[in-house]
Structure 1
Amino acid sequence: MPDETYRQERRPIKQEVEQGKGQEPIPSPEEFQKAVQNQPVNRPVGEGLQMKGLHNAPPEFLEKIKQQGGQASSSSYSDAPMRVTGSAKLEELLDKIKLSTQVYEEVTLPSLGKFYDGDDGPTNGIVKLRPMTGEEEQILATPRYIKKGTAMDMIFRNCIQPNYDPAQFLAVDRTFLLIYLRGISYSKDYDVEVTCPFTDKRFSETIDLNALEVTTCPENFGPQNMHDVLPRTQIDFKYRLARGFDEQRIQEHRERRSKFDNSTLTDDTLLYRTSLLVEEIGGLTDKNELLIMIKKLPVEDVSYLRNVTSEPPFGVDTKVTLTSKFTLEDFEIELPLEANFFFPRQRRTQTQA
């Protein structure tokens, strides 16, 4: 049993003990409030607050109370309405800012809403999106939100209408919203540092986010198509598409494993993610059994499962083709999500250089 720190017993101080005989007790909070309520509203200037028991206080204190009471009574009364947010100038500027920050753009999600029922997302695939403000940037600058993986959900809740739970959105729709939100909040130009695969040298490049290809969900694809056959073993399976809450669970799984000695552990994050999205393999539905089954499948089948669940036939193509500035050869990279994606570096103009 841990040692307890000794603390002296606290006892309420009785007024009659502190005041001594022959002195009036200091009023209780209830008596003070009652006395204030009973004071005349239009008392004479300089009279101050009359409170029974205050004559026991130091004279200097009483004089200050009297002076403040007189000042409050003699101050001129203004008919101007009290402003909660601040001055008229502040409200004028806030109204001006709203013209650019509170304008919502209508956006069609790549899924076209086929995988939503109206409660977890729009059945017509349409949401409204506004640019981020300093409040949203503050969320991104808060380490605990980033570590918990809740930052983007908080930002989506602020910037998207109607107010759906963003954790229910498909991962492909969330990626689209993330890139779109960055474009309307900062700029379509995304400056990155990349490594030339031919020379291993670094160079700067600007990616046009508007140039990323967006494919909408085909007419013949929907929730009814969430089944397939493994190419090698020819076993039937059913699956679903990843949603925001799946990414959160995967992040939590990765953090749990990181607490152990990883020198003897293999990274099963990809297998765990696949087992979350696969709902049935050959009649198996238990998640633990599905994970065991996936581990034993031929690698061709595992790769097929991963591609089917992670790459539906719609969404944003985040593969970017760049040209090396050293060899002039083309190469392809995945859109890098660096720190300056939401904290872009300020470009220098010719006058600043």
Structure 2
Amino acid sequence: MADIISCPSGLTGRIRGMKVREERILADRKLAKSGGQVDELLSACWEEMLEAGPYAFTDGKVDWGRVLQGDRFYALLQVRVLTYGPEYVFAVPCQAASCRARIDWELDLTQLPVRALSDTSRASFMASNRFETTLPDSGKPLRFKLLTGEDERRLPQLQRAAPEKLLSSVLAYRVLDVDGVDARDKRRFLEDLTLRDADYLVDEFDRVDCGVDTTLEVECSACFMRQEVELPFDRGFFLPGQARTARRRERSTSSPA
């Protein structure tokens, strides 16, 4: 089954659902380690480009490494919908310390909110992928970039290298330069930001970007606490049959003899 989709930036093309042969991509550990699974999966399921959007793709082929994160995730979501349908069932633990029950949740993936790339952001991305803002506490103007597929591959390596500095690693990678701050001192400057400035900067990233809102509100059936969770995005997202097998195994072991 194939369908025409238009990504948040305007990149438009014809995609299809996954076939059995795509399972090798999901099972490839080398691709998983290098971060290349998403590119391979999208390349396999993307059949034809109809509109390049803000990208300089002139040969009819999409270079997924140069595509914005928001477009990539949107396209993956549509591949998943075409493969299995829009319903997605997942489980997360309750966040209440006194509960910790398992929350089983189901949603329609086609109902997730989608933010389009604004005309202003499109122009800035096409020009040089440079966006400017001024931090409220420090008063420093700075420039930052939107993340693409190539950035997706590099960020996990940086985060693994310094897991205790996750936020500063992301900020340092996305911030291109800061007025009055030498490039060698950029990391130190960002680590010394007030949390208000850091929160403002992350909000600025989101404001000019595009993509799918994956923050969900779920309710625990045991304690009725409502809580926000991120849409689980792992191998089970593309191979729900394995999740069903795990649930069957769990039910069989918990059933009375």
Normalised to the residue count of structure 2, the TM-score between the two structures is 0.78
Q: Is residue 2:220 matched to residue 1:327?
A: no
CA RMSD after TM alignment? 2.5
Equivalents in 2 of 1:266, 1:247: separation in Å? Answer: 16
Moved over 6 A (4+): none
Alignment of 1:166-315 (within 5 A): 166-198=64-96, 199-224=99-124, 226-255=131-160, 257=161, 267-284=164-181, 286=183, 288-310=184-206, 312=208, 314-315=210-211
Q: Give the deviation of 1:322 after TM superposition.
A: 1.8
Q: 1:253 to 1:314 in 2, by over 3 A?
A: closer
Counting matched residue pairs gives: 226
Q: 1:311 to 1:145 in 2, by over 3 A?
A: farther
Alignment of 1:338-353 (within 5 A): 338-345=234-241, 346=244
What residue ranges of structure 2 are gaps of 5+ in the alignment?
50-60, 125-129, 253-257
Q: 1:266 to 1:220 in 2, by over 3 A?
A: closer
Match of 1:142 among 25, 28, 53: 28
Structure holding more helix per residue? 2
Q: Give the deviation of 1:272 after TM superposition.
A: 2.1
Structure holding more strand per residue? 2
Equivalents in 2 of 1:308, 1:190: separation in Å? Answer: 30
> Secondary structure of 2:43's partner?
helix
* Larger relative contact order, structure 1 or 2 (CA cutoff 8 Å, min sep 6): 2
Equivalents in 2 of 1:143, 1:220: separation in Å? Answer: 39
Q: Give the deviation of 1:154 after TM superposition.
A: 0.9
Normalised to the residue count of structure 1, the TM-score between the two structures is 0.58
Identity level (%): 24
Q: Is contact 2:8–2:74 with CA below 8 Å preserved after alignment?
A: yes
2:165 aligned partner, one-letter code = D
Q: Is contact 1:274–1:309 with CA below 8 Å preserved after alignment?
A: no
Q: Is contact 1:241–1:310 with CA below 8 Å preserved after alignment?
A: no
For 1:292-325, what per-residue CA distance to the aligned partner results, in whole angstroms no more than 9, with x for missing partners? 2212222222222233235545321101122221
Range with bigger deviation, 152-161 or 322-331: 322-331
